[in-house]
Amino acid sequence: MLRYLLSRLGRALVTLVLIVSAAFIVLRLSGDPAITILGPEAPPEAYAAFRAAWGLDQPIWMQYLKYFGAIAQGDLGNSMRDGRTALEVVGERVPMTLAITLPAFALNLLIGLPAGIFAALNRNTWADRAIMAGSVMGFTVPSFVMGLVLALIFAVKLRWLPSGGSDTISHAILPVVTMGVIGAAVIARFTRSAMLEVLGQPYVRTASAKGLVWREVIVGHVLPNAAIPTLTIIGFMVGSLVAGAVVVESIFSWPGVGRLLVTAVANRDLAVVQVIILMIGTTMVGANLAVDLAYGWVDPRLRTARLKTA
């Protein structure tokens, strides 16, 4: 188990280094920040001073090493627009984003898993068809359309909920529901097909043939085995929640990291963009690591197999 853990951690670190390097390469490909920030009309001395201030006049490999050194020390540069450290600018938005993504994630699981399991156990009934028809939505309705349609119904027509802002808890409802429903549709679909796959296995037939109550077959044999592919898709959901937050926060004027990313991209505030990318990269790596560890927890075969080869 320890070796399994270490190999996963090592892989996570390599991915992080790759993300940081990619950020550096793209940063350097993006043209001269001095011109971007100061404009093409500035005097040459201003460019030189700017380059010296940001260390842009050193050789590229020095910049690369310094870049890693700075990141290791948590120094990610200042927001080129408002002068505070980029980490500070992004950090104050994080709680707002967590405040809508965590409930949305919970909603994904609370709706998606039971709906998928129910649909699989009642295959080809009207309930199954209705759930599957609903889940098509998760793949074909983009979050900005879902968000705007919900806003149109509940904020504009019915006037039950506010359409934007973050003053009260009722402002969070529409963003959470938008992300929650779409993710739930995706999870329901994958859970259903994972369940159907397992239900067709010989050991399920054996379990019920040896006289187990159907409920025990489901709880003891089907669910644990269906959990493995479902975990993979839950890992993917973290990524799509992050991407969804970018859109949903923009629709509902929710002051989180996603909306900050959009404005930082539009203003080309590269330090802020970079902090957000690294943060999302770390989150994704962490999520994948968590999924990998959860595999070992759900599937004892994985644990022992690694032990034997180790």
Give the interface with another protein as residue ranges (CB under 8 A).
15, 18-19, 22-23, 26-27, 29-31, 136, 139-145, 148-149, 151-152, 156, 163, 239-240, 242-243, 246-247, 250-251, 261-262, 264-266, 268-270, 273, 277, 280-281, 284-285, 288
Measured CA to CA in angstroms, residue 237 lies from 139, 150, 172 at distances of 13, 21, 20
Say how far apart CA 181 and CA 106 lie, in whole Å.
Answer: 11
Q: Least distance from C-beta 44 to another protein, angstroms?
A: 23
- Using the minimum distance from each CB to another protein, give the nearer residue, 136 or 219: 136
- Using the minimum distance from each CB to another protein, give the nearer residue, 2 or 133: 133
Q: Least distance from C-beta 270 to another protein, angstroms?
A: 6
Q: Least distance from C-beta 213 to another protein, angstroms?
A: 31
Total residue count of the chain as it appears in this document = 310
- Using the minimum distance from each CB to another protein, give the nearer residue, 108 or 221: 108
Cβ atoms < 10 Å from Cβ of 275: 27
- Using the minimum distance from each CB to another protein, give the nearer residue, 1 or 236: 236
Look up tokens 């950090």; give the residue.
Answer: 91
Q: Least distance from C-beta 211 to another protein, angstroms?
A: 33
Locate 114 and state its tokens: 């039971």
- Using the minimum distance from each CB to another protein, give the nearer residue, 217 or 260: 260
Q: Least distance from C-beta 208 to another protein, angstroms?
A: 25
- Using the minimum distance from each CB to another protein, give the nearer residue, 73 or 140: 140
Q: Least distance from C-beta 8 to another protein, angstroms?
A: 13
Q: Contact at 8 Å (CB) between 219 and 168?
A: no
Say how far apart CA 211 and CA 277 lie, in whole Å.
Answer: 54
